């Protein structure tokens, strides 16, 4: 009688035990050590340089190992396919990632830790956002710029809810200021478009004397009222002059002076 092959012998052929009349072929699961040297993740990085390899290779280096039936490179490609991109993977929770075959909780933590480091690195390299908390902060943004000006310029500083500057100062008008030139529509246009929480108004006096004129006060009151209507707080109006030898301030804050109610 012919001897029946043992299950171990069946496994060596790459064919699992028969289920009914159908054979189930098991994946051999190519291991990294079985791959050609030039296709292994670490070797590929050494050969091409880390900035020139694909996303799946970088993921494979972070994951380090695959699982039975799925090499680490295949696992990396699976994650990119399932979640669509690196951003998709980074947006996934550890619980969700750990449920993926070959990942588990530890690898899920390693992956998301790598993405979090990348995020913090990008934040470190980004230009520091400026915060305008005092009249001096606002004056300091434009102090150097007004030194060379021989005409009046009116700017608006756009701030978020925590008083961080939301971009460069917006130039509204040049020349002698009057209510017809500094119209609320022009002042608040960019503020409304950018969902700004508050603004600081700034303009200069080329004469060097920062004392506000009657027209300065009238314009400020008009803009404060307009801000209430569009729900954008006008925090202050800074009038910039020039430094003097006696050490007096080169600017006036209309809020600090009490000349206008904000």
How do residues 87-131 score in pLDDT, each as one tens digit? 889 888 999 999 999 999 999 999 999 999 988 887 777 666 789
Identify the structural domains of the chain with CATH numbers, from first to last. Answer: 7-125 (no CATH), 135-257 (3.40.140.10)
Whether 258 shows a pLDDT value over 50: the answer reads: yes
pLDDT, residue 13, reads 42
| pLDDT level of residue 2 (50, 70, 90 thresholds) | very low
Q: Which pair of tokens denotes residue 138?
A: 């606002």
Q: What is the mean pLDDT of residues 144-172?
A: 91
> CA 51, 55, 56, 59 torsion: positive or negative?
positive
Four-point Cα dihedral 20, 21, 23, 24, nearest 10: -40
Give dist(CA 198, CA 225) in Å, integer: 13
| pLDDT level of residue 148 (50, 70, 90 thresholds) | confident
**Least reliable range by pLDDT among 13-27, 35-49, 220-234:** 13-27
> CA 180, 181, 184, 186 torsion: positive or negative?
positive
**Least reliable range by pLDDT among 2-11, 140-149, 250-259:** 2-11
Q: What is the mean pLDDT of residues 234-252?
A: 87
Tokens 């990085």 correspond to what residue? 45
Q: How many separate helices (H) and strands (E) can be counted in the chain?
A: 11, 5
The per-residue pLDDT of the chain, averaged, comes to 83
């Amino acid at each position: 009688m012919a001897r029946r092959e043992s299950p171990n012998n069946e496994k060596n052929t790459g064919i699992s035990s028969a289920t009914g009349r159908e054979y189930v072929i098991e994946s051999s699961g190519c291991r990294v050590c079985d791959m050609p040297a030039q296709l292994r993740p670490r070797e590929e990085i050494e050969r091409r340089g880390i900035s020139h390899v694909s996303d799946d290779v970088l993921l494979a280096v972070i994951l380090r190992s695959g699982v039975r039936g799925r090499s680490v490179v295949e696992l990396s490609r699976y994650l990119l396919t399932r979640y669509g991109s690196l951003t998709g993977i980074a947006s996934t929770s550890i619980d969700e990632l750990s449920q993926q075959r070959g990942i588990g909780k530890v690898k899920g933590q390693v992956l998301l830790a790598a993405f979090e480091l990348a995020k913090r690195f990008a934040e470190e390299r980004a230009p520091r956002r400026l915060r305008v908390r005092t009249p001096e902060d606002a004056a300091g943004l434009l102090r150097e710029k007004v030194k060379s000006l021989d005409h009046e310029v009116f700017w608006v500083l756009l701030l978020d809810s925590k008083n961080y500057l939301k971009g460069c100062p917006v130039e509204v008008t040049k020349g002698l200021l009057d209510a017809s030139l500094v119209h609320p529509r022009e002042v608040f246009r960019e503020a409304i478009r950018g969902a700004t929480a508050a603004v600081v108004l700034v303009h200069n006096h080329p004469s060097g004397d920062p004392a506000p004129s009657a027209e300065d006060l009238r314009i400020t009151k008009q803009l404060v009222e307009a801000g209430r209507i569009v729900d954008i707080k006008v925090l202050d109006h800074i009038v910039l002059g020039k430094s003097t030898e006696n050490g007096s301030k080169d600017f006036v804050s209309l809020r600090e002076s009490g000349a206008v109610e904000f």
